[in-house]
Structure 1
Amino acid sequence: MLLIPAENQLNWKRPPWVTLGLMLTCMLVFVFYQSGDAEIEHELIEQYLASDLPALEAPAYEDYLERQIQFEAAEDRVYQLQEFQQLRSENEQEWIAYLLLFDREFFQYLQQSHDIIWAPQERQLWHQQRMALERDYISEISAFESGLIPAEMSLHSLITHQFLHGGWGHLLGNLLFLFLLGFTVEKALGAGRYLLAYLFCGVLAGLAFAAFDWNSAVPLVGASGAISGLMGMYVAIYGLRKIRFFYFLLVYFNYFRAPAIAMLPVWVGKEMYDYWFAGATGIAYMAHAGGLVAGAVLVWLFGRSWMQIREEFFEPEDEEKDARFTSGYAQAMGSLSRMEFDTARRQFAALKTRYPDRPILLEHLYQLAKLRPDLPDYRNRARELMDDAIARHQPERMVSIWQEYLSKGEPHQPLSAKDHNRVLFISLKHDDLKAAEKAFERLRHAGDQILASEACRLLATEFEKRQMVPKARHYQQLMQAY
C-alpha cells in the first residue's frame, strides 16, 4: 500500500529550485558517474573467472549458505541456496561469479574463517587473488567508493550515498517522491534551510541504518533516507491540521483527510515491521524510519527558531484566493442590490482588509461613504481613492475625485491644506493650470500660510515659463502679501 501526503499544489511562478537542483544532481551522478560501473563489473567478472577463485569459493559458498540455514535460521537463504545449486548444475559461470563477488556478507565470512576453510597454500592463493580484485575493481565501483558501508564508516559517505542509486527504477522512484514532497517543504522552509535540512536528514538516516547493521559490508545508496526526512518534516509542519493523503492499494486509489502528524507513527511502524519481518528485500527500512523521525524532530525542536516556517506558507494559493474573493464579493454585491448598505459596507471593508490590492473594493467603499457626505468616513475614503489614483498614475482621476468631494463633502468635513496642496502639485505636473488655480484658492483659505506661500511661488514660476505675464504678476503680488 502506497500512502503519501498531497495537500499542496505546485506554483510554477515560484519554482522549487533546490528540489529541482537535487533531482538534476542525482540524475547527473547516475548518468555520468555510475554509468562506468557496468564496464568495471564486466572486467571484474572476466578476471574472476580467469582466476582460481571460482574453484575455491563456490564450495565454500554452498557450505556457508547451509550453515546459515542450519544455525541462524536464515529462511531467505533457503531460496538462495536452491538458486545457487541450480546455477552450478546449469554451469552459469557468470551468474555464479556475480553472486560470489557481491554477496558481501559471504566475503566477510571468508575473511574471518579462511583459516579453517582452506589449507595454507589455498589460503595464500585466495588472499592474493581476491584482494587484488577488491583493490583494482570492487573498490572502484560507485557503491563501494561513495556508498555508506557501516563496517567501513566514513564522513564523506554520509553525504555522497544520498546521490547514488542502484538502477533506473530506484532513481526514478526516488526522484518522483523527492519532487512530490520537496516542493512543499522547500516552500515552507526557504531554499537554504531546506537544503541543509534535507542533507542532515540523509545523514541521520544513514546513521540509523548503520546503527542496526553496524558490522555490515553491504553499501547503502539512494536518496530515500533523506526523502523520508522530507516526509517527516511535511507532516510535522502541518501538525494536527487535517490534510489530504493519497493512497494506492493494488488497483484502487483515492484520497482521504486526516491530521497530518497521525501518519508519522503509521509510517515508522511499517518500516520497523518490514525490517523485522519482511526478510531480505534490499530495502533500507531503518534508513527510512530514521529519516522520518529525524525530519519530524527537526521541525519540533527548531520550529520556533532555525526551522521556523515561513509566514506565507499557510496562505492560500492564487486560485484559492480568487475563489474566496469571488464568493465574498458576490455576497457583498448581493447586500448592495438589496440596499442593505451597512451590511455591504462591512462586507466590502472585510474584503479590503484581506485583499488590499483589489481597487474595486475601495471604489465600492467610496461610493457607499458618499451616501453620507456629512460623516468623516466619506473624507477618509476620498483621500484613499485619491492616493490610489496617484499610485496608479491617474492624475485626471485624482482631480475628479477631489472636485466631486468639494461639491458634496467639503461643506461638512473640509479637506486639509495638505490635501489641496497635493492636488495643486499634481495638476501643475500635468499641465492642468485651471485645476491648480482652483486648488490654490482652496489652499489659501485653509489657514496654512507656509503652504500657501510656496504654492504662490510655484504658480508664479509656471506662468512665467508660459509667458503669461498678468497671471505671473498676480501670484507674485500675492507672494509679497504672504
Structure 2
Amino acid sequence: MLIIPAENAVNWKRPPWVTLGLMLACVLVFLFYQGGDSRKLEQAVELYVDAGLPGLEGPAYEEYLQRQIRFQGEEERVFELRRYQKLREEGEAFWLSASLLMDRDFYQYLQQNSDVIWTPTERTHWLEQRTVIEEAYIQQLSAQKLGLIPAKLSLSSLITYQFLHGGWGHIIGNLVFLFLLGFTVEKALGPGRYLLAYLACGALSGLVFTAFSLGSPVPLVGASGSISGLMGMYVAIYGLQKIRFFYFLGVYFNYFRAPALAILPVWLGKEIYDYWFSGATGVAYMAHAGGLLAGAGLVGLLGKSWLQVREEFFEPAEDERDDHFTAGYAQAMDSLGRMNFNLARQQFEALREQYPDRPILLEHLYHLAKLRPDLPEYLSRTRERMNDALSRRQPEQVVAVWQEYLREGESHHPLAAEDHNRVLFASLKQHDLKAAEKAFERLRGAGNPVLTTEACRLLAEEFEKLQMAPKARHYRQLLQAN
C-alpha cells in the first residue's frame, strides 16, 4: 500500500533549489564517494578467501543462524540460512564470502564467542587475518565510516548517514519521494528553514532508530528518515484541511481527498506493523516512524514561531489564479451582456475580494453603480475610483471621474470638501488650472474654511509663478477676506 500527498504542482518559475541541491548532493556522494565501495569489497573478499576464512566462518555461520532461529525466535533468519545454503551449493564463492563479511551481527557474534568456536590456533589465525581485512577494507566502506551505527553513535553520523545509499534502487526511490514532498515543504517554509528542518528530521529519525537497535553494529544509511520527516511536515502544515492524496494498491491506483492529519496515524500504523511483522527486509521501519513524528512534531511545536508557514503558501499559483480570474470575469461579463446587472454586480464584487489589485473590476462596479446615480453606492464607488487613481498616480483620471460625478450624482449626494480638495491637488499636478479653479469653487461651497484657505493660497502662488497677475491678485484678495 502506498499513499502520498499530491496537493501541489511544481512552479518552475521559482524552482525548489534546496530540494534539487539535496538530490544532487546524494547523487554526487553515491557516484564519487560510495563509488569506490565495490572495489574495496572485492579486495576484501579476495584477501578473505586467500586467508582461508570461509572454511572457518562458514560452519559457524550456519550454527549461528540456527541458534537465532531456535532460541531467539527470529524466523526471518530462515530466509538468510536458505540463501546461504543455496550460494554454497551453487559454488558462488564471491557472494558467499561477501555475505559472511558484511553480516555485522555475525561478526560481533564471532568476536564474543571465538574462544568457544575454534581451537586456539584457529582463533589466532582468524583474529590476525580478520583484523587486517576489517581495518584495511571493511571499516573503510562508506557505510562504516559515515553511516549511523547504533553501537557507536556520533553526532556527525546523524547528518552524514542521510546522504548515503545502498544501491541504485535505494537512491532512485528516495530521490523521487524527496522531490515529490520536498518542493511543497520548501515552498511553505522557505529555503533556509526547510534545509534545517530536513536535517533535523533525519537526525531525530536516526535517534529513534538507535533507540530500537541499541548495541547493533549494523549501519543505517539513506534519506528515507528525512523524507518521512517531510511527509510529517507536509500533513502538519495543512492540518485538518482536506487535500488530495494518491494511493496505489497492487495494480490499482487513484486519488482521494481527506483531512491531511488524518493520514498521519495511517502511515505510523503501517510502519509500526511492518517493524513487528515484516521480518528482516532491510527496511528501517522505526526510522521512518521516527521521521514522521519528528516532522509533524516540529511543525506542531514550532509552527507559530520558528517553522511558521509562509502566508503566501496557501495562495494559488499565479497561473491558477489567472485561470480562475479569467473564468470568473467571463461569467460576470456574460451577466452584463444579458443585462442581469444585480448578478453581474455580485460576481464582480466576489472577484474583487480575491483580486483587489485588478482595477478593471472597480471600473465595472463603478459603471454599474452609475446606472442608479440617486443611490449612495454611486458616491462610494466614485470615491474609490478617485482614490485608486491617486494611488496609481493618474491625476487626469481623478479629474475625469470627479467631473462625471458632478454631472450625474452631485445633485443627489454631494461630494465632501475633502473630495474637492483632492481634485484640486490632482489638477495642479497636471497643470489643469481650469479644473483646479472649478474644484476650488466647489470646495468653497462645501463649507470647510481651513481647506478653503489653504487651497486659495496654493492657487495664488501657482498663478504668481505663471505671472498671471490678475488671477493671483484675485486669490490674494480672497485670502485677506477670509
TM-score, structure 1 as length reference? 0.88
SS of residue paired to 2:410: coil
TM-aligned CA distance change 1:281 to 1:431, over 3 Å: same
Q: Which amino acid aligns with 2:356?
A: P
Task: Give the C-alpha shift of residue 477 in structure 1.
Answer: 4.4
Match for residue 53 of structure 2?
53
Could you tell which deviates more after superposition, 202-211 or 16-25?
16-25
C-alpha RMSD over aligned residues = 3.0
SS of residue paired to 1:256: strand
Could you tell which deviates more after superposition, 471-480 or 104-113?
471-480
8 A contact 2:463–2:472 mirrored in 1: yes
Q: Which amino acid aligns with 1:351?
A: L
Could you tell which deviates more after superposition, 94-103 or 238-247?
238-247
Match for residue 183 of structure 2?
183
Match for residue 15 of structure 1?
15
Any unmatched runs of 5+ in structure 1? none
Q: Does 1:102 align with 2:105?
A: no
Task: Give the C-alpha shift of residue 253 in structure 1.
Answer: 2.5
CA distance in 2, matches of 1:220, 1:129: 26
Q: Deviations over 1:58-101 (max 9, x none)?
A: 34334333443444454444443444345445554432332222
Q: Which amino acid aligns with 1:391?
A: S
TM-aligned CA distance change 1:45 to 1:463, over 3 Å: farther
SS of residue paired to 1:166: coil
SS of residue paired to 1:248: strand
Match for residue 265 of structure 1?
265
CA distance in 2, matches of 1:345, 1:3: 44
8 A contact 2:395–2:429 mirrored in 1: no
Match for residue 244 of structure 1?
244
Q: Does 1:290 align with 2:290?
A: yes
Could you tell which deviates more after superposition, 56-65 or 155-164?
56-65
CA distance in 2, matches of 1:426, 1:408: 21
Task: Give the C-alpha shift of residue 166 in structure 1.
Answer: 1.3
Could you tell which deviates more after superposition, 269-278 or 342-351?
342-351
Q: Which amino acid aligns with 2:205?
A: A
Q: Deviations over 1:257-284 (max 9, x none)?
A: 3333333333223222322332322111
SS of residue paired to 1:413: coil
CA distance in 2, matches of 1:95, 1:346: 75
CA distance in 2, matches of 1:324, 1:426: 36
Q: Which amino acid aligns with 1:443?
A: L
CA distance in 2, matches of 1:3, 1:353: 36
Match for residue 354 of structure 1?
354
CA distance in 1, matches of 2:50, 2:474: 113
Match for residue 131 of structure 1?
131
Task: Give the C-alpha shift of residue 307 in structure 1.
Answer: 4.5
Q: Which amino acid aligns with 1:254?
A: N
CA distance in 1, matches of 2:41, 2:246: 40
Match for residue 229 of structure 1?
229
CA distance in 2, matches of 1:147, 1:116: 31
Q: Which amino acid aligns with 2:447?
A: G
Q: Deviations over 1:322-355 (max 9, x none)?
A: 4544554455445545555445434433332232
Q: Does 1:401 align with 2:404?
A: no
CA distance in 1, matches of 2:411, 2:87: 104
Task: Give the C-alpha shift of residue 113 in structure 1.
Answer: 0.6
Task: Give the C-alpha shift of residue 56 in structure 1.
Answer: 3.1
Could you tell which deviates more after superposition, 394-403 or 109-118?
394-403
CA distance in 2, matches of 1:124, 1:478: 118
CA distance in 2, matches of 1:25, 1:138: 24
CA distance in 2, matches of 1:262, 1:375: 51
Task: Give the C-alpha shift of residue 224 in structure 1.
Answer: 0.7
SS of residue paired to 1:218: coil
Task: Give the C-alpha shift of residue 467 in structure 1.
Answer: 4.2
Match for residue 431 of structure 2?
431
Task: Give the C-alpha shift of residue 401 in structure 1.
Answer: 0.6
CA distance in 1, matches of 2:370, 2:160: 68
Match for residue 163 of structure 1?
163
Q: Deviations over 1:224-279 (max 9, x none)?
A: 11211222232333344433221233443322233333333332232223223323
Could you tell which deviates more after superposition, 295-304 or 263-272?
295-304
TM-score, structure 2 as length reference? 0.88
Q: Does 1:144 align with 2:148?
A: no
Q: Deviations over 1:161-182 (max 9, x none)?
A: 1121112221121111112112
Task: Give the C-alpha shift of residue 389 in structure 1.
Answer: 1.9
CA distance in 1, matches of 2:399, 2:267: 65
CA distance in 2, matches of 1:457, 1:240: 62
Q: Does 1:28 align with 2:28?
A: yes
Could you tell which deviates more after superposition, 452-461 or 133-142?
452-461
Match for residue 370 of structure 1?
370
CA distance in 1, matches of 2:108, 2:465: 97
Task: Give the C-alpha shift of residue 218 in structure 1.
Answer: 1.0
Task: Give the C-alpha shift of residue 109 in structure 1.
Answer: 0.9
CA distance in 2, matches of 1:414, 1:406: 8
CA distance in 1, matches of 2:383, 2:265: 57
TM-aligned CA distance change 1:348 to 1:88, over 3 Å: closer
SS of residue paired to 1:182: helix
Match for residue 207 of structure 1?
207
State how many pairs are aligned.
482
CA distance in 1, matches of 2:44, 2:429: 83
CA distance in 2, matches of 1:79, 1:169: 21
Q: Deviations over 1:411-433 (max 9, x none)?
A: 33332333223222222222333
Match for residue 121 of structure 2?
121
Match for residue 40 of structure 2?
40
Q: Which amino acid aligns with 2:387?
A: D
Match for residue 383 of structure 2?
383
SS of residue paired to 1:289: helix
SS of residue paired to 1:219: coil
Percentage of pairs with the same residue: 69
SS of residue paired to 1:57: helix
TM-aligned CA distance change 1:215 to 1:461, over 3 Å: same
Task: Give the C-alpha shift of residue 212 in structure 1.
Answer: 2.3
Task: Give the C-alpha shift of residue 104 in structure 1.
Answer: 0.6
CA distance in 2, matches of 1:91, 1:330: 75
Q: Which amino acid aligns with 1:426?
A: A
CA distance in 2, matches of 1:474, 1:8: 67
Q: Which amino acid aligns with 1:245?
A: F
Q: Which amino acid aligns with 1:350?
A: A
CA distance in 2, matches of 1:440, 1:32: 79
Task: Give the C-alpha shift of residue 158 in structure 1.
Answer: 1.8
CA distance in 2, matches of 1:426, 1:262: 57
SS of residue paired to 2:446: coil
Match for residue 220 of structure 2?
220
SS of residue paired to 1:279: coil
8 A contact 2:23–2:175 mirrored in 1: yes
Could you tell which deviates more after superposition, 217-226 or 328-337?
328-337
